[in-house]
Structure 1
Amino acid sequence: MVRELHEEYGIIVSRGTCYNARSWARKMLQGSLNEHYHMLPCYVAELQKVNMNSTFQLEVEHDIHNSLARFNRLYICLESLARGFLEGCRPVIGLDGCFLKTKLKGQLLSAVGRDGNNQMFPIAWVVVEGENQASWTWFISLLMTDLGIVDGYGWTIISDQQKGLENAVAGLLPNAEQRNCARHIYANWRKKRHSSDILRNLFWKAVKTFISNKPKCEVIDNNMSECFNSFILPSRSKPTIDMLEYIRTIRRALEDNKHNCRACCVIHAGHLKFEVSTHGEGFVVNLRAQHCTCRYWAIAGIPCPHSIACIHFIWAGPANYVNEWLRSKRYINAALRKPSGMGLAPVQKERFD
């Protein structure tokens, strides 16, 4: 901005002057942070009016010395997103938090799913005072109610190694499979001088041997949540209501495996069992049990190259062996619940007071 003013108008101004001018202009256009926090109750009431079955939980703290209320937390879960996730997505939830870039700080916590097309599916988000066990417990408790989760049985939670989050998940979802982001684990492990190519390859091979194959999701990182944080990055410096409005308005693997299966040599052992060799390695495939010893099929729900070679051997179609969670019917069910605008009815855009 300093350079642009000098080059276009021949004006020399300091960086501080530019910062103050931008702040003044932003306040004129968007309103102050105080005004946004003052309007939050009216904003929540407007959301509730047009989304009666959705959950909006505003928590404030009252000062005992006066009648003023101070903002503490705000939880948002749209019914269309919750239903779309339950009807069309696998029972896998990524949990993560990111900093807000306003003067008052705070953090945004989010729960993100993954649809049948392996794209992010936002479920719920919350603005809190900070990322700690108390805020995560509050968020996860409300999320469990909206999704009908009891003790986590049959669910998979993916997160980083934030201790407050881990403790909250362990306390509220004791029977859920908890996957820590393998990319973060490897980064910490590498700092301890475990950076050789051999150890790196062994690490990534070992990781997938410890995850459950029930959710039909091979993901071992929390990239979906990080993608969501990146997606909303432009809004994180905006006043609260503008940020929330920004968030509100927001078959590849099988084909790759079909291509890779051409390098496989298949030997039929009878009863839909096969021995497959490729690139010097051997695998056993059981089409009846939909299992390959590489474990990709059981974990991801998509036939691996070895199993696709066997499916071609019996003149069948690989698409018929894709897990139910990844079928187009499931994807359509989720998509129908997530129309443009993130599934929220039109909201009055003027002022909420």
Structure 2
Amino acid sequence: MVRTRSGVEVRTIQEPNDEEEIVIEDDDAGIEDEVDENATTGEETTDNLYNVILYYGGHFVHVPFQSYTSNVRKLYKRIDLEKLSIDDLKKLFSGPVGEYDSLYFRTPELKIYLLNAESKPIIIELGKECGNNIVLYVYHVIVPTDESDIEREYSDEDSESDRGFYPNSEESDEDFCYANPPPGYDKMKYVDEVFNMHTPAKDIKFKVGQIFGCKKDFKEAVRSSSMETGRPYQYAHDDLKRVQVVCAHGCPFKMWLGYDKDKDRWQIKSIINDHNCVWNHKNKLVTTKYLVEVFGDRIRKNPNWKLCDMQEEFKRVLKVDVCDAKCSRVRKAALSGVVEKMAEHYAKLRKFGGEILRSNRQNTVKISTTRLQEGDVSRFRRIYICYAALKKAWKDECRPVLGLDGCFLKTVTGGQLLSAVGRDGNNCIMPIAMAVVESENYDSWKWFLELLIADLDLEDGHRKTLISDQQKGLDKAIKELLPQVEHRFCTRHLGANLKGKYPSGAVTDAFWRASTATHPQAFKSAMKELASVSKGAFEKMNQLDPAVWSKAYFKTHSKTDSTENNISECFNSWILKARYMPLIDMLIEIHDMINKSA
């Protein structure tokens, strides 16, 4: 068997048998009993005369491969194809063929065309490329006589060529066009059972006759089986009536699914259930859409999920490798439409605030909005919440200490949560107030402190203590609004910043001795030790007032000598899960957590 440049396969004459007839005739046109490797007659023709090889007595089949089922053919020499009409050609070829309707030809892309006035220039051009040699087919359609024939024979209604199956023309002859199924092709036992979509992936087994409610169910089963077994399945053909599944290049596995119009169902028609491929982690069936369906919610909750972590999770859960580009597309697709959903979500915020005030008029809820331009719809900017019970508890029962801190929200919209956390008589945390703002800066901290001062009656901060990190703008806002308050810096953050610049263990030890010193003389001794170890570290810490970071200079009215802002850090860690939720859901979750801990 050889393949011409026109994309057709020309077989040498085989020995006659009971099923085939080799027609050898001698007429004016001439008949040859062999065709050489270039599909020619052994002699050159003029530019306008063509040698035509006519196959007849069969029909096209498309499983297991696209082929013409008959080897019976006749060779016509020196045919003036350009001058003869289609009707003239039919009359010329009607001698051995008898009555028939149409002639067909195939292109190098394995596409089948009806020979008519419009397609005639195509076949002439192909003939010139092949040395003025042309192959035509008489198409006799075979229709099954009963349902049992569906598995044994394939009509044009039941199966169609998978025209995109072979991507190039360099395949070996053995991979092409069998008139009969290839050696080793055994029909599986026919079943008539409905596939259970709840079947675990490891137990999925495809069978001839298996029924699927829709094509989507079949594709889901193929994808699950592909990921579980590591078979790189892909769809060689997929249209409204049929689907063809193949495996890796060179793997003999083939599976055909067809649509049964009478019974409105999809059914597996045939399977070559042999594999010679190895496990492959690159799976084309794991599409961007599928990954969004599986991991979309997780990505929306954590839009900053790193691509490398995403790839590792995909491989752990799905047993597939996903490239960086596809991971980026998955994240982009998962986050698309979030803005519209968030707009609907934030539109309910005023109703949420109204419910808080309705439940207790002493609660405080403040919502700040902004507009990009005059006349634009207002947009959410900030919200502040302080519950009446927490206000009263802090005033009556807690130490006059507040920890101030901010933490990032883990949602698509971003933002930060500012909080004021108190310390009760047992040194346990008590959340007092919280606010969601666009970012940590002087303006947002000032807005938060103004509302907090009004709720807790802090006035100028006399005999009150605030503990915080060195947040942007917070120190300036405190000095303006609470000039008499005792303001302490968290020494854990101070020590971490100092260690980052001066990593010596001696510097760290001297710093902590100075921070925990209980009287001024001990503090001065520790600072001298720090100066002897690192002059730069000493100058950096000497720029700060000792009253903000050393116990030796703390005031006693707060009844606590804590040098760290652990109460705020504990609160931020406590609400970590809630910080991944949309705004209203987060506020409700924190409200419920506070109620349960009370």
* Category of TM-score, reference length = shorter chain: 0.5 to 0.7
Asked if 1:158 corresponds to 2:467, the answer is yes
Cα distance in 2, alignment partners of residues 9 and 189 from structure 1: 45
Shift of 1:201: 4.6
What does the per-residue CA deviation read over 1:24-47, in whole Å, with 9 as the maximum and x for residues that have no partner? 8x97xxx93222211111111111
Secondary structure of 1:113's match?
strand
What does the per-residue CA deviation read over 1:240-294, in whole Å, with 9 as the maximum and x for residues that have no partner? 11111121122xxxxxxxxxxxxxxxxxxxxxxxxxxxxxxxxxxxxxxxxxxxx
What does the per-residue CA deviation read over 1:309-352, in whole Å, with 9 as the maximum and x for residues that have no partner? xxxxxxxxxxxxxxxxxxxxxxxxxxxxx74276xxxxxxxxxx
1:11–1:120: structure 2 CA closer, same or farther, 3 Å change rule? Answer: same
Shift of 1:7: 6.4
Cα distance in 1, alignment partners of residues 316 and 446 from structure 2: 53
Assess if the C-alpha contact under 8 Å between 1:85 and 1:123 holds in 2. yes
- 1:192 partner letter: Y
Assess if the C-alpha contact under 8 Å between 2:440 and 2:472 holds in 1. no
Aligned to 1:199: 510
Cα distance in 1, alignment partners of residues 372 and 314 from structure 2: 46
Shift of 1:213: 1.4
Shift of 1:146: 0.6
Pairing partner for 2:415 from 106, 109, 116: 106
- 1:120 partner letter: I
Assess if the C-alpha contact under 8 Å between 2:401 and 2:423 holds in 1. yes
1:21–1:248: structure 2 CA closer, same or farther, 3 Å change rule? Answer: farther
Pairing partner for 1:219 from 541, 562, 566: 562
Pairing partner for 2:327 from 9, 15, 23: 15
Cα distance in 1, alignment partners of residues 380 and 401 from structure 2: 31
Percent sequence identity over aligned pairs = 41
Cα distance in 2, alignment partners of residues 8 and 239 from structure 1: 26
Cα distance in 2, alignment partners of residues 210 and 8 from structure 1: 56
Cα distance in 2, alignment partners of residues 212 and 167 from structure 1: 21
Superposition map of 1:25-104 within 5 A: 32-104=341-413
Aligned to 1:228: 571
Aligned to 2:596: 340
- 2:402 partner letter: I
1:72–1:198: structure 2 CA closer, same or farther, 3 Å change rule? Answer: closer
Aligned to 1:128: 437
Unaligned runs of 5+ in 1: 251-337, 343-353
Shift of 1:239: 1.2
Greater Rg by CA: 2
User: RMSD of the TM alignment (CA)?
Assistant: 2.7
Unaligned runs of 5+ in 2: 1-309, 518-522, 524-549
Shift of 1:235: 2.0
- 2:417 partner letter: L
Aligned to 2:591: 248
Shift of 1:148: 1.0
What does the per-residue CA deviation read over 1:49-98, in whole Å, with 9 as the maximum and x for residues that have no partner? 11211000001113544340011110000001111111111000000111
Cα distance in 2, alignment partners of residues 11 and 183 from structure 1: 43
Cα distance in 2, alignment partners of residues 140 and 199 from structure 1: 35
Cα distance in 2, alignment partners of residues 187 and 60 from structure 1: 37
Cα distance in 2, alignment partners of residues 216 and 225 from structure 1: 18
Cα distance in 1, alignment partners of residues 329 and 511 from structure 2: 50
- 1:15 partner letter: C
Aligned to 1:146: 455
- 1:129 partner letter: E
Shift of 1:231: 1.3
- How many residue pairs get aligned? The number is 252
1:15–1:150: structure 2 CA closer, same or farther, 3 Å change rule? Answer: same
1:140–1:65: structure 2 CA closer, same or farther, 3 Å change rule? Answer: closer
Asked if 1:209 corresponds to 2:552, the answer is yes
Cα distance in 1, alignment partners of residues 442 and 480 from structure 2: 10
What does the per-residue CA deviation read over 1:193-245, in whole Å, with 9 as the maximum and x for residues that have no partner? 56306514522323210111111112111111111111112222321111111
Assess if the C-alpha contact under 8 Å between 1:136 and 1:168 holds in 2. yes
More helix by share: 1
Superposition map of 1:245-284 within 5 A: 245-250=588-593
Secondary structure of 1:229's match?
helix
1:21–1:155: structure 2 CA closer, same or farther, 3 Å change rule? Answer: same
Cα distance in 1, alignment partners of residues 448 and 313 from structure 2: 44
TM-score (normalised: structure 2):
0.39
Pairing partner for 2:487 from 178, 186, 209: 178
Cα distance in 1, alignment partners of residues 443 and 485 from structure 2: 19
- 1:42 partner letter: K
Assess if the C-alpha contact under 8 Å between 1:33 and 1:240 holds in 2. no
> Which protein, 1 or 2, shows the higher relative CO under an 8 Å CA cutoff with sep ≥ 6?
1
